Chains A and B, each alone.
Chain A
Amino acid sequence: MNTAKPKQVYFFGTCLVDLFYPEAGLAGIRLIQREGVDVIFPQGQSCCGQPAWNSGYRNEARDVAAAQLALFTKEIPVVVPSASCAGMMKEHYPALFSGTPLESTAIALSKRVVELTAFLVDVLDIRVEDLGDPQKVAIHSSCSALREIQVGDKIETLVSKLSRVDKVEQAYKRECCGFGGTFSVKQPDISGAMVADKTASIRETGADILVSQDCGCLMNIAGAFDRQGNGPRCMHIAELLWERTHADD
């Protein structure tokens, strides 16, 4: 990855953030802007195509992905606040467009995609002043962050930068939360058993807050906590960082 600080970046918000976690997206944008980097948010963007790709609907995924390719043409990084979407664009776009007229465009884009936590740590090397109350924070790194694009350590680094936060570790930390996109619908009982175990292990840490760099995991874990009642607050890492490090505006 090119670690020189760019003047300008694209922000690809992802479909889940757009509709369910927009504050996380906005926090990501503000964190980048605060470091003096311009952010472009192309209004025509929607989804990377991952849901269809993982469900075996490659043509439909390609059509949606192709619409995104046309929007991120400048030679600047594309920052994505989700490791699984970043993984889709980095790791699978080349295969998805292999043998099509868009192949070289897709490969070029895939090289410019940077997951948000990796961008904040490796490129911006952000410094933060923690203004928040002391709190216990548990981290759930998504499988894509850990195993697909291997940026699982970045969220750890970011949380460690918060001086008034006590980082707690749950058992089976690296294990999948059970989301898996359409897996949670196709195999609801297995997925339900996995998220039940995940929430139980997080509860045992006494965490006030659970953070992740992936909104798919968050939706799954937060939904389960909400159903069970009295769970920790679940939020995207960008939101936690922004909330604890900016003076009220």
Chain B
Amino acid sequence: MQTTDAGFDIRIRDALGNERVRGNFRRAMDGLMQRRLDLFPDAEAMESLRQHGMRIKASALSHLPELLEELEAKLIANGIRVHWAETPLEANQIVLDIMQSHGATSMIKGKSMVSEEMGLNHFLEQHGIDVLESDLGEFILQLAGEPPSHIVAPAIHKDRYQIAELFREKFPDIPYSEDIDELTQSARAILRDRFETAEVGLSGVNFAVAETGTLCLVENEGNGRMSTTVPPVHIAVTGIEKVVEKLEQIPPLLTLLTRSATGQPVTTYFNMISSPRKPGEKDGPEEVHLVLLDNGRSGIYSDPELLATLRCIRCGACMNHCPVYTRIGGHAYGTVYPGPIGIIFEPQKGGLDKYGALTTASSLCGACGEVCPVRIPIPSLINRLRYEANHSNGVTPGSGSKHKNSEALLWKAWSLLYRNPLLYRMMTKAATRLRMLAPGKAGPWTRYRTAPKPAARSLHDLARTHGVDNE
């Protein structure tokens, strides 16, 4: 789904008006925030771990091209085939080619946000491939024909009653249930056979280790392990920013990820994929492929400030803690990555002309920056992108495309007034004298509030009459 800025206002209004979805998000986000907090009881230890995580990712990004070459060499030496894709279309084509070279027509998928970025399911289905999502949340969304609303918990906008209704509609033979365990068991039974028959398994990657050529996959349901080991061919897709230098850097990153994402000390499954099945081994795929997707990332890489965007380990903590995301939910953003990380990542990836309006959807409250496990200064980057959206001298694609003469003129006038003491004094004098004439309606502000009224005397005035020194 790439619905861009068009309709953002409408999606926001619809989301705000949907009490049920708003309630679902609030409850879910409250739970996730509490769970995270429970696992970071010591603020000092948490800060030192975040600092460590930031350094690991920043260090990897400081020599990304060389590191990617090292990763490729190690993967090839391990027997994993490596493919480079500049665009989602190229990545899709690579996946399709691999499938067709095996005459394969069925795929089972583990959860992968990069595959969402690629629009992979849609592409493969158009080419006659039968694709099945095996992550429970993604499975539900595939049934509903919806995109994820959260990068870690994709179906978080649905409550169990909505899921029960969906199962009744799609699987009329299964007895109706609103019990979470029973619903999960039903999905499990449906998926089980498909793991065994699918010709290709696809997964994402959480960390790719250059030193050893290892692909790390973090999950809770075991579907990731099934998808990557049962089918004869495993294709992993990932963004180029997921590479890290050394294996010893994985434990701190993993613990930051699981605590920040779901408030777990460790996930139920942690997979380290280092090669296809070797002679004499009993299981594992015969072929493993890695598709490395750029999709605008190397452009982000070229700016020293914006580069921090690529440190993201996709934990979703920024959205869990975002008061805007909590109220409008993931779908309102209309992008693959919603929430604060989406606000900074999507416009850089897809252009400010198409996604620049996202930068307005933040009060810059700083909650995202406060919890980010790799200390991405998200509010500062939103501020930077707001500048670039309105000025054509930025580095982001579509820079200057949101420039409006009327708005620019307003800020010019504001600046003139506030930098010139005489003009400023005349303005405050007029405002305080004429305060009773202040309009009762002040545009969108008064939709929810009364308009503020200027005081009878300004502080400048009060300070003077109370004899406060001027210098």
Q: Are A19 and B415 closer than 8 Å at their CB atoms?
A: no
- Assess whether B304 is interfacial by the CB under 8 Å rule: no
Q: Are A193 and B414 closer than 8 Å at their CB atoms?
A: no
Encode contact with B along A135-166: 1 for CB under 8 Å, 0 otherwise. 00000000110111000000000000000000
Encode contact with A along B400-424: 1 for CB under 8 Å, 0 otherwise. 0000000010011011001111001
Q: Which of B386, B412, B448 contacts A227 (CB 8 A)?
A: B448
Measured in the bound complex, the distance between the Cα atoms of B302 and A73 in whole Å is 39
Encode contact with A along B250-266: 1 for CB under 8 Å, 0 otherwise. 00000000000000000
Q: Are B361 and A190 closer than 8 Å at their CB atoms?
A: yes
- B336-386 interface (Cβ within 8 A of A): 359-367, 369-370, 383, 385-386
Q: Which of A41, A44, A191, A196 contacts B468 (CB 8 A)?
A: A41
- Assess whether B268 is interfacial by the CB under 8 Å rule: no
Q: Are B389 and A56 closer than 8 Å at their CB atoms?
A: yes
- Assess whether A6 is interfacial by the CB under 8 Å rule: no
Tell me the total A-B contact number using a CB cutoff of 8 A.
199
Q: Which of B359, B366, B415 contacts A143 (CB 8 A)?
A: B366
Indicate whether A46 sits within 8 Å of B324 (C-beta atoms), given known contacts A19-B454, A26-B462, A52-B414: no
Q: Which residue of A lies closest to B461 (CB)?
A: A22
Q: Are A175 and B460 closer than 8 Å at their CB atoms?
A: no
- Assess whether B459 is interfacial by the CB under 8 Å rule: yes
Instruction: For B432, list chain A residues within 8 Å (CB).
Output: 19
Q: Are A44 and B421 closer than 8 Å at their CB atoms?
A: yes
Is chain B's interface secondary structure helix, strand, loop, or mixed overall?
Answer: helix
Q: Are A46 and B419 closer than 8 Å at their CB atoms?
A: yes
- Assess whether A131 is interfacial by the CB under 8 Å rule: no
Instruction: For A226, list chain B residues within 8 Å (CB).
Output: 449-450
Please give 8 more A-B residue pairs, beta carbons under 8 A apart, in addition to A26-B466, A144-B366, A188-B448: A18-B460, A26-B462, A59-B415, A143-B363, A180-B364, A188-B447, A192-B449, A227-B446
Most buried by B among A38, A53, A188: A188
Q: Are B458 and A18 closer than 8 Å at their CB atoms?
A: yes
Q: Which residue of A lies closest to B325 (CB)?
A: A190
Indicate whether A147 sits within 8 Å of B370 (C-beta atoms), given known contacts A20-B454, A25-B462, A190-B324: yes
Q: Are A56 and B391 closer than 8 Å at their CB atoms?
A: yes
Residues of A within 8 A of B (CB): 11, 13, 15, 17-23, 25-26, 29, 38-47, 49, 51-61, 63-64, 66-67, 143-144, 146-148, 174-176, 178-181, 183-196, 219-220, 223-224, 226-227
9 contacts between A and B (CB under 8 A): A22-B458, A23-B455, A25-B459, A38-B469, A53-B383, A60-B412, A63-B415, A185-B443, A227-B446
Instruction: For A227, list chain B residues within 8 Å (CB).
Output: 446, 448-450
Instruction: For A67, list chain B residues within 8 Å (CB).
Output: 418-421
Measured in the bound complex, the distance between the Cα atoms of B383 and A53 in whole Å is 8
Most buried by A among B389, B457, B466: B466
Q: Are B455 and A29 closer than 8 Å at their CB atoms?
A: no
Measured in the bound complex, the distance between the Cα atoms of B461 and A15 in whole Å is 13
Measured in the bound complex, the distance between the Cα atoms of B391 and A52 in whole Å is 13
Instruction: For A20, list chain B residues within 8 Å (CB).
Output: 452-455
Separation in Å of the A153 CB from the closest CB of chain B? 13
Separation in Å of the A7 CB from the closest CB of chain B? 12
Separation in Å of the B416 CB from the closest CB of chain A? 8
Measured in the bound complex, the distance between the Cα atoms of B421 and A143 in whole Å is 30
Q: Are B455 and A56 closer than 8 Å at their CB atoms?
A: no
Instruction: For A147, list chain B residues within 8 Å (CB).
Output: 365-367, 369-370
Indicate whether A29 sits within 8 Å of B468 (C-beta atoms), given known contacts A43-B460, A190-B324: yes
Q: Which residue of A lies closest to B305 (CB)?
A: A95
Q: Which of B16, B431, B446, B469 contacts A193 (CB 8 A)?
A: B16
Measured in the bound complex, the distance between the Cα atoms of B369 and A21 in whole Å is 30
Instruction: For A186, list chain B residues within 8 Å (CB).
Output: 360
Instruction: For A25, list chain B residues within 8 Å (CB).
Output: 459, 462-463
Indicate whether A56 sits within 8 Å of B387 (C-beta atoms), given known contacts A51-B414, A196-B448: yes
Measured in the bound complex, the distance between the Cα atoms of B387 and A189 in whole Å is 23
Separation in Å of the A106 CB from the closest CB of chain B? 15
Q: Which of B369, B452, B468 contacts A40 (CB 8 A)?
A: B468
Q: Which of A15, A22, A180, A196 contacts B455 (CB 8 A)?
A: A22
